[in-house]
Amino acid sequence: MTDSTPPAPTDPEDQPRPPLSKRGWLLVLASVAAVLALLAGGGYLLNRALTDNVSEVAGSAEPAADASGRDVGGGADLDGDSGGDGTDYTGPSVPVTPSAVLPTCTPVPPAIDSTGRPHGYEAQNAVDGDVSTAWRCTGTSGQTLAVSFPCSIHLATVGIDPGHDKTDPDGSDRFAQNRKVTEVKWTFDDGSTVEQQLEPRRGIQTMPVDQTARTATLTVVETVDGQPVTNRAGQQSAPFNDVTSISEIRFTAREGDGGDACVR
């Protein structure tokens, strides 16, 4: 007997597909390109949104403050009006030396160092370029030193070595023995002021300013005590806490910005 039962229909998924034509491949490639473009655009927008959000958060942060509530971020003009455009000058600058200095404090008589040599403490010592000499006045604060320049100049920085930066031949550390200045106020001839915070350590500490001036007056605001010192022979000397010393003050001016007559 012959089986005349017709064959079962084949599942269309099992049937082999004809190969894609050239037009079909072009359509597939175009679709893939479109999907990739959408993904790239979305990633860019997401990254931009995250960046903008971070910038807004960073821009809203308040400057840090110390225990007294004073802003300490930036390390430049901590108080007062510098008289400038609010930005620190970062271009070339040149050293400038005052042509005159005038202290308004009680002078201190000369002292004898460990070698028996006398040393004076005149105001001129603060601008002589030698940190081993010092300007010294009685008292612990309030001393002022006014300096003037030959002409009006655009100051870029002010700097101070805030003590008597000297060690005697016998090893006596005069910087440690004397008071150290930790804060001064600068007043310029237009009446504007800036305050400079200082660390009680050796060396010139500078602060950027943006100020056109012919005169600048330094006022000592705060100081810290000196300590007893011992020389190499084991002899101890008491601290000098009834006087205040500054080894050096220094200035720089913007190069070629109205100060050429003063710096050449």
User: Given this model, what pLDDT does residue 75 score?
Assistant: 34
Nearest Cα residue to 192 out of 79, 76, 70: 79
CA atoms within 13 A of residue 179's CA, in its CB half-sphere: 23
In this prediction, residue 154 carries a pLDDT of 93
User: Can you give the pLDDT of all 264 residues of the chain as single tens digits?
Assistant: 444 444 444 443 444 445 555 555 555 455 545 544 444 444 444 344 333 433 333 333 333 333 333 333 333 333 333 334 445 666 789 999 999 999 998 878 998 888 888 889 999 999 999 999 999 999 999 999 999 999 999 999 999 999 999 999 999 999 999 999 999 999 999 999 999 999 999 999 999 999 999 999 999 999 999 999 999 999 999 999 999 999 999 999 998 754 445 545
Give 261's contacts (C-beta < 8 A, 6+ positions apart): 150, 151
pTM (predicted TM-score): 0.65
